[in-house]
Amino acid sequence: MANKNFIAGVEQARTLDQQDVLAKFKDRFYPLADNKIYMDGNSLGLASKDAEAALLKVMEIWKNEGILIWNAENGHYFNYGKNIGARVAKLINAEANEVMITANTTLNIHQAIATFWKPTKERYKILVDDLNFPTDRYAVDSQIALKGMKVEDVIKIVESADGIFIDEDAVIEAMTEDVAVILLPSVLYRSSQLLDMELLTKEAHQRGIYIGFDLCHSIGSVHHNFKSINPDFAVWCNYKYLSAGPGATAGMFVNKKHFAKEVGLAGWFGNKDETQFQLKHQFDQARDVTAYQTGTPNMFSMAPLEGVMNIYEEAGMENVRAKSLNLTAYMMYLIDTRLNEYGYSYTNETEDHKRGGHVALVHEEAYRICMALKAHNIIPDYREPNVIRLAPIALYNSYEEVYQLIDALENIGKNKEWNNFSQERTIVI
Ligand SMILES: *Cc1c(COP(=O)(O)O)cnc(C)c1O
């Protein structure tokens, strides 16, 4: 399963770090206090110097220019969501005018459903899976309720057979004539499964169904090719792998073939630039992805993303994906060879083309092992009831850090260090 011939011993980790074309980018990010090892960049990426510089620059322009910030640099900040979107578009090989940086993921799902779901008597169902992150369901369900319909009449759920993975064939089988829209994750947040988005989109389109994906767990980690996947829409947050900061403004992709559609949720920043400041009461919708903005761009939550795009453009998304796959393959090799005897296993996809950016380590003492890892100066990510998500981030984690993580997990297992900690849950762990 591993895609490299890995061997025991820390020397190989050091050699891999020496050969790593991305190693130099570690210095562009700030190390955590006490040099903690960070394995949680899939929940909130670390701060970079580039993100900080972009944020301070916006602050500086506001200080010096006041309202003229909207005119600065030829309207760069007025069109900030579109301009940063054009750069993020390259990460998924979409067209520059198909990506907008706006709102948050949950609101962008509301926007997508409000736009793409136009139920008729014959075609009204929304197809989802039962493993997606809950906010996606909350948004879909409330859109259904807003139309005065019953959730149980409209929602069609593809159930996972094992509670871990989604079977693409089961999704395709569920694409019946009454389905109008499909919303699925690209990578499952627990098991790291990367769905075959191209196949699913092709099958949906053959049946006249719109399909969109939530890229929260793949953007900045998986190198998507939207030119060949060709989905109708996609949404994502920018604070996970992309490291644009807590609460960073989110992203939205709308396929250019849909630019004639009326947006579901309109606002004055979705108006054409030429007529926006005429302030008429008739919405004059922009005919590109700009239409999907509602209000004034929240610039301080967007600037760090602009900064971090410098790093991605220098590093190259294909290099990021290659290293990410190799880091997780190395981690799985070390778990297989050193941790199984202490009750550890993993429930993520192992094949490269089916695996996202993290390893889902499983142990019956997972919760208290996370506590013990923190005592070892390592930050993991816990998901009920027994999963520890470990995401080595290509731009700032090293092979040696993965090795140190395994050393810690081995010691914790050997000495049953979880006995030093309570089972009681704290809010965010
Ligand atoms: C992280 C995540 C979200 C977050 O939604 P926000 O509205 O940005 O808070 C949504 N969906 C999935 C699948 C996620 O992983």
pLDDT digits (tens, 9 = 90+) for 29-67: 999 999 999 999 999 999 999 999 999 999 999 999 999
Report the share of the chain in percent with pLDDT over 70.
99
Q: Which of 106, 135, 137, 186 to mutate to test the pocket of ligand 1 (most atoms within 8 A of CB)?
A: 135
How confident is residue 428, by pLDDT bands cut at 50, 70 and 90?
low
Give the model's pLDDT for residue 384. Answer: 86
Report CA 150 to chain centroid distance, whole Å. Answer: 30
State how far the alpha carbon of 338 is from the alpha carbons of 38, 92, 317, in Å: 21, 36, 31
- 253 DSSP β-pair partners: 99, 234
Tell me how far apart the alpha carbons of residues 392 and 403 are, in angstroms, rounded to a whole number: 11
Residues with Cβ within 8 Å of residue 163, at least 6 apart in sequence: 131
Per the confidence metrics, is the pTM higher than 0.95?
yes
| CB of 213 shorter than 6 A to ligand 1 | no
* pLDDT higher than threshold 90 for residue 116: yes
Sheet bearing 387-390, strands edge to edge: 345-346, 359-362, 387-390, 381-383
How confident is residue 2, by pLDDT bands cut at 50, 70 and 90?
very low
- 38 DSSP β-pair partners: 379
Q: In the numeric block, which tokens belong to residue 95? A: 């067209």
Tell me how far apart the alpha carbons of residues 100 and 425 are, in angstroms, rounded to a whole number: 38
| CB of 238 shorter than 6 A to ligand 1 | no
- What is the overall mean pLDDT for the chain? 96
| CB of 386 shorter than 6 A to ligand 1 | no
How confident is residue 337, by pLDDT bands cut at 50, 70 and 90?
very high
The 10 Å Cβ neighbour count of residue 151 is: 14
pLDDT digits (tens, 9 = 90+) for 87-107: 999 999 999 999 999 999 999
pLDDT digits (tens, 9 = 90+) for 185-213: 999 999 999 999 999 999 999 999 999 99
Helix or strand (DSSP H, E) at 23: none
Gap from CA of 135 to ligand 1 centroid (Å): 7
Q: Which of 4-8, 121-125, 138-142, 347-351 has the lowest mean pLDDT?
A: 4-8
Gap from CA of 133 to ligand 1 centroid (Å): 7
